Structure 1
Amino acid sequence: MAEKKMKLDKFDIEILKVLQRDATVSMAELSQHVGLSHTPCWRRVKRMETDGVITNRVTLLDAKKLNLGVSVFIYVTLKNHDGNSLTSFENAVQDIDEIVECHTTSGDKDYLLKVIVRSIEEYEHLLKSTLTNLPLVDHLSSTFALKQVKNTTELPLNNGAVN
């Protein structure tokens, strides 16, 4: 069953653009920026929160300043592909803090993980002690990011993806 898509107008999209850049903006500033009075703007934000368009408001951290400068992308292939195996693997990765993203993928690899650690040595320890012991792992292929060329938390709301 397809998930119901919410209809968004130009005000909703502008609200989302502003909140993606700064979730701490006051409602007064937000309403002024998008050209609505306070109450209608607040109602739109609350509706988008209730409908799940706005899922969370977070504080973004600088990994390098926190001594977490090594990003590793790992392709994972599992031994089995039945529902229980996939669920078992997906549940196991939830408990590993260094895994900051986990995506199912198409093609000959089953998952793509993004891991953030302090050092290559820390990654090697994580690999040997934890990642190779994840349920039903057949093969892991790691790639280290050399430099981050682009980093955005903003979804591309200008390209017609909404509505």
Structure 2
Amino acid sequence: MKLDKFDKQILRTLQQDATVSMAELSNHVGLSHTPCWRRVKRLEKDGFIQRKVTLLNNKKLNLGVSVFIYVSLKNHDETSLNRFEAAVQDIDEIVECHTTSGDRDYLLKVVVESIEEYELLLKSKLTHLPSVDHISSTFALKQVKYTTELPIKG
């Protein structure tokens, strides 16, 4: 499905504020209410809009330590990869998991309260993930940029 300028403007607006009313959204993008509503429903049905969420302030929740972790696995067969990927789903502190190219297999992002909490997580869960060979952790010192908005062109 090809997106036109109205679809893209709807997506940009909803990325900034998913709570905007349909009346405000339609006014903002220059469509009447019903066509705008139909476009939003189509964008949802076609998977462009996955879900609407509330973004939380991690520091207010005392979750101010972000750790980026490269993981290398011992085995690279399909079963080992699937077991690892299933296991990371059960660890709440892992907020992102990406497969990567190069000599490392995965990049994880972990959010915790403290370095001590990360050490406990590392010892009790991360090193016990299936097929883990090597873990390399890097602590974020300061978040320079943060956005949840994708760069929709056009």
Q: TM-score range by the shorter chain?
A: over 0.9
Pairing partner for 1:71 from 60, 66, 69: 66
Q: How many residues are matched?
A: 154
Matches within 5 A, 1:73-152: 73-152=68-147
Q: Which residues of structure 1 form unaligned runs of 5+?
A: 1-5
Residue 82 of structure 1, CA deviation: 0.4
Pairing partner for 1:45 from 40, 63, 87: 40
Question: What is the identity, as a one-letter code, of the residue corresponding to 2:9?
Answer: E
Question: What is the identity, as a one-letter code, of the residue corresponding to 1:39?
Answer: T
Residue 154 of structure 1, CA deviation: 0.2
Hey, which bits of structure 1, 4+ residues long, moved more than 3 A? none
Pairing partner for 1:31 from 13, 17, 26: 26
- The reply on whether 1:9 has 2:1 as its aligned counterpart is no
1:98-151: per-residue Cα shift (whole Å, max 9, x none)?
000000000000000000000000000000000000000000000000000000
Residue 59 of structure 1, CA deviation: 0.1
Pairing partner for 1:154 from 143, 149, 152: 149
Question: What is the identity, as a one-letter code, of the residue corresponding to 2:83?
Answer: S
1:16-49: per-residue Cα shift (whole Å, max 9, x none)?
0000000000000000000000000000000000
> Percent identity over the alignment?
80
Task: Give the aligned partner of residue 57 of structure 1.
Answer: 52
Task: Give the aligned partner of residue 16 of structure 2.
Answer: 21
2:96 and 2:51 map into 1 onto residues whose CA distance is: 16
Q: TM-score, normalised by structure 2?
A: 0.99
RMSD: 0.6
1:28 and 1:13 map into 2 onto residues whose CA distance is: 17
**SS across alignment from 1:81:** coil
1:66-89: per-residue Cα shift (whole Å, max 9, x none)?
000000000000000000000000
